[in-house]
Amino acid sequence: MTRKILLVDDDAAVREALAQTLELADYDPVTAGSFVAAKDHIRADFLGVIVSDIRMPGRDGFHLLNYAREVDPDLPVVLLTGEGDIPMAVQAMGQGAFDFLEKPCAAADLLPVLERAFDARAQVIEQRALKSELERGDPAARLLFGLSAQAEALRERVRSVAPTGAEVLVTGPPGSGISKVAEVVHLMSPVGQGPFVKRPASGLTPEGLVRVCEDAAGGSLFLDEVSAMPDATQYAALEMIEQGTGSRIVAGTTADLAVLSEQGQFNADLFYRLDVMRVRIPSLAERPEDIPVIFRHYVAQAAEQAGIAEPEITSEHLASLMASDWPGNARSLMSAAMRFVLGMPEEVARAADLGLTEQMARVERSLLIAALGRHNGKASDAASALKLPRKTFYDKLARYQIRPEDYRR
């Protein structure tokens, strides 16, 4: 989310000093000397935070607060007060101000308040986006979470694949939610009102395949980890698909079926029949910016299941989550959310025990992987997107043992 701050104060020296403080903290301040000058910046699509002095000539900070709340009741407004204005600031809190600080305002006091305000604003924006998508009755939006470009690309791919009725191959790393994506494909397909039958392919006999196809008639049959299907059943599956099964076949795998078929470990003809429409799920390492969104969803879900109130999620905790590797992807993040809700955060925030250098290295590694994922493993394009010289980019790949070819689709 943008780190833009609307800074309103009639004292030019104070404005300039605060703007410099905010710029040094990587914020993007926009300054105004009065309510009238600030008014044009206060819009429903303003995603940042407002910081305003209370006492100003003409319309004061109260006018600004009330106007901002009319535009967007959830827009955070932090008020700056003089020494004798504390009762007035308390009154402002009752009217919806996010917080207040006494002037002169030190950076050590201001910056933590702004971080909390941005966290609150981010949650509001995420919830509104999800609510908007839910109201559209879109299963892809309702069940496939994330605000990153990769998450939206996944949703668009599902939306384009599902209505075709053709066989679908869903791929992704372990724990990425392959069965969930398969279910969304079913819900959005022409047979979405029919049954969704899920069966592990491992150990499935030809006779068992016939039975599950009968169970899925008029709906979808999801074959989980299809790479583990016995040879005899693979031949039976190929024959059934060619003759018509009466149901839509959706297959899922964490393995590379193309490689397995080339090595003779999977029926190549069956692979080609299943690979009519492919949906690839990106790992969390490729889209670390989605981790806070997904974690908050899992925390809300876990708290509801446990019948307890949702615990507060701090920005430090979210930063720790984003710095973690998450080899188990969504499944391990879901487990972490449950432990967090149950009061066992020490297992979740393992990155918090690391030093700053190691935490920053983990975040940098995630951003490199995310860039490669967005650009189909093309290192030159990823380097340009990150505004890094190619040599620097390749040096970083070597340091973190990242291979661009692993992110080509």
Give the CA distances from residue 46 to residues 4, 43, 49, 116, 129, in Å, rounded to whole numbers and listed in that order: 9, 5, 8, 17, 14
Q: Which residue, chain included where needed, has tokens 């069940």?
A: 143
Cis peptide before 73 (omega within 30 of 0): no
Task: Give, as one character, the DSSP assignment of residue 284.
Answer: G
CA dist., res. 214 & res. 204, Å (int):
14
Delimit the domains of the chain by residue range: 4-130, 146-282, 286-407
Neighbour count for residue 173 (Cβ, 10 Å)? 20
Give the CA distances from residue 300 to residues 1, 9, 289, in Å, rounded to whole numbers and listed in that order: 21, 39, 19
CA dist., res. 383 & res. 394, Å (int):
9
**pLDDT value for 279:** 96
Under a CB-based contact definition with an 8 Å cutoff, are residues 17 and 103 in contact? no
User: Cα 16 to the chain's mean position, in Å?
Assistant: 35
Domain 146-282 in the same topology as domain 4-130: yes
Q: What share of the chain is helix, strand, coil (3-state, %, to 5)?
A: 55, 10, 35
CA dist., res. 291 & res. 140, Å (int):
18
Task: Give, as one character, the DSSP assignment of residue 383.
Answer: H
Written as six digits, the tokens of 298 are 């899992």
**pLDDT value for 32:** 93
> Which among 149, 131, 140 is positioned nearest to 74, based on CA atoms?
131
**pLDDT value for 228:** 96
Mean pLDDT by 10 residues, the chain (409 residues): 84 90 90 91 86 88 90 90 72 83 86 87 68 60 79 92 94 93 91 89 94 91 96 95 90 96 96 95 89 90 83 80 84 89 60 58 74 81 86 86 75
Give me the CATH topology for the region 146-282: Rossmann fold (3.40.50)
Q: Taking the CA atoms of 369, 371, 373 and 376 in sequence, report the sign of the dihedral they define.
A: negative
The model's pTM: 0.57
- Nearest 5°: phi and psi at 6? -90, 115
| Range 4-130: architecture per CATH | 3-Layer(aba) Sandwich (3.40)
> Which residues are 197's β-sheet partners?
221
DSSP-based three-state secondary structure for 278 = strand
CA dist., res. 41 & res. 39, Å (int):
5
Q: Taking the CA atoms of 70, 74, 76 and 81 in sequence, report the sign of the dihedral they define.
A: positive
CA dist., res. 188 & res. 143, Å (int):
12
Strands (DSSP E) found in 247-288? 248-253, 277-280
**pLDDT value for 121:** 83
Written as six digits, the tokens of 86 are 């504390």
